[in-house]
Amino acid sequence: MLKFDTEIYLDPSLSKKVLESIRDQKKIDYNALEISYLKKRIQNLKKKFQLKLNDNLKLNYKNYLFWQLVKEEYNLENLDIKKKKIGSKKNEVNINFTYFIKFLGFNPSLLSLLIFSKEIKKIVNLNKFFETLQNKIDLENISTSERIKFINLLEKKEIDLVTPLCPDYEHVKVGNNLFKYTFKKLGNGIGMMGTRFLSIYSDLFALFSKEKANLKIHLLYGDFEGFSKINCNRLKETEASFLKKINLSSQKLSQKINKKKTCGAVVKDLTDKKNWKSMVKKNIQIIKNKMKKDLEFRIKVLEIVESRAHLYASWFPTLDKSKYLEIVIEQGAEYTTMGDLFYKKYKNLCVLAFDHSKMKIFYTLNNSFPVLYGRRRY
């Protein structure tokens, strides 16, 4: 089984340094380049290059032999390798090469192509599967990193697909396949996200059956939202009445998909209220600490605040906008806690969510697993 546990993007400058060292038979300082984890792969590349060099003693063009290795490794008949015109200071070649961009989402460096060939070929071979998955389930673009994680699951031929579902909050249609939550009341039906899942249920199983993968579905309503007094007061519910409606929603969805063990609620099925609150509290601190140390993460969190402003205006109409950051951090901690609980409970975890995709960053703060997102409809 292939292990897709390494990031396949390698910077072009790093690629240049490593390949020059191989070509010029110089020692590679793996520690200085921070690539000790790639040592075995690069040593194997050295051996392949040396064999190719022995067969082509007269060819000393800069990366010509490396590109020949790529051509053979990927069985590419139309790789356009051309020697540069006379007058170039160095023996070099021009490569007209964009083949992998459509599969990976970026143009891989030559070193990436050479040492991650098994992983990249797997992504290429499964490209049709990912395209069909995105189109049939109406998913947002699946990034290369998510594809790598997902392929690792497909190799195991068994996937625990977990879909968190929002409670049955009142919502109105505002356009074609576009809705808006009013948060004026809580129903006991399957909710907007439950309805959406039903619309893709059959396609999901059909797709994974073709890959001979056993798909286990776990649909879990966010019962923890009933722990919020502000939320319950807004909906004119008590915690008890809120949780009762969540239970009814779960039962109704179970009946519709005729698989009783696939539907439940996050806290009820995976932990308890006391432990949930304790975990959320710890994850709030993790998020705050990360925001202090990681500027890119902080910017993403602030972007979430901005993008969810209209949602919060409907959800918490009496709350001052200055408090929205606190809400995002607390809700982010809830997502992280869900991720922690899912990761502990399900062996071959993949999350399929239908809420706001920007919240995706919180699921995997403490653990690594694929997270797929449906295109937003509210």
Band (9; pLDDT cuts 50, 70, 90): confident
For residue 304, the model assigns a pLDDT of: 94
pLDDT band at residue 94, thresholds of 50, 70 and 90? low
Q: Is the pLDDT of residue 5 over 60?
A: no
CATH architecture of 138-373: 3-Layer(aba) Sandwich (3.40)
Q: Determine the average pLDDT of the residues in 118-123.
A: 85
Greater confidence, 54 or 220? 220
Compute the average pLDDT of residues 304-333.
Answer: 90
> According to the per-residue pLDDT averaged within each range, which of 66-80, 248-262, 297-311 is highest?
297-311
Q: What is the pLDDT of residue 4?
A: 44
pLDDT class of 90 with cuts at 50, 70, 90 = low
> To 10 degrees, what angle do helices 64-73 and 12-23 make?
110
Share of the chain above pLDDT 70, in %: 89
Question: pLDDT by residue (tens digit) across 144-164?
Answer: 888 888 888 888 889 999 999
pLDDT of the residue at 60: 55
Cα–Cα distance, 118 to 121 (Å, whole number): 5
**pLDDT beyond 70 at 224:** yes
The residue with greater pLDDT, 183 or 272, is: 272
Side chain identity at 60, as an amino acid letter?
A: N
pLDDT of residue 2: 42
pLDDT band at 378 (very low <50, low <70, confident <90, very high): low
Q: What is the pLDDT of residue 88?
A: 52
pTM, two decimals, is 0.78
Buried b (16+ CB within 10 A) or exposed e, 301-331: beebbeebeebbeebbeeeeeeebeebbbeb
Q: How confident is the model at residue 338 (pLDDT cuts 50, 70, 90)?
A: very high
**In the predicted structure, residue 41 carries a pLDDT above the cut 50:** yes
Domain boundaries, the chain: 12-123, 138-373
Give the model confidence (pLDDT) of 170-190 as tens digits.
Answer: 988 877 777 888 888 999 999
Please tell me the predicted confidence (pLDDT) of residue 349.
96
- Say if residue 246's pLDDT is above 90: yes
CA distance 293 to 179: 37
Task: Answer yes or no: are the C-beta atoms of 198 and 374 closer than 8 Å.
Answer: no
Return the pLDDT at 167. 96
Comparing 172 with 87, which gets the higher pLDDT? 172
Mean pLDDT score of the chain, rounded to an integer? 87
pLDDT at 76 > cutoff 80? no
What is the separation of C-alpha 176 from the centre of its chain, rounded to a whole number of angstroms?
27
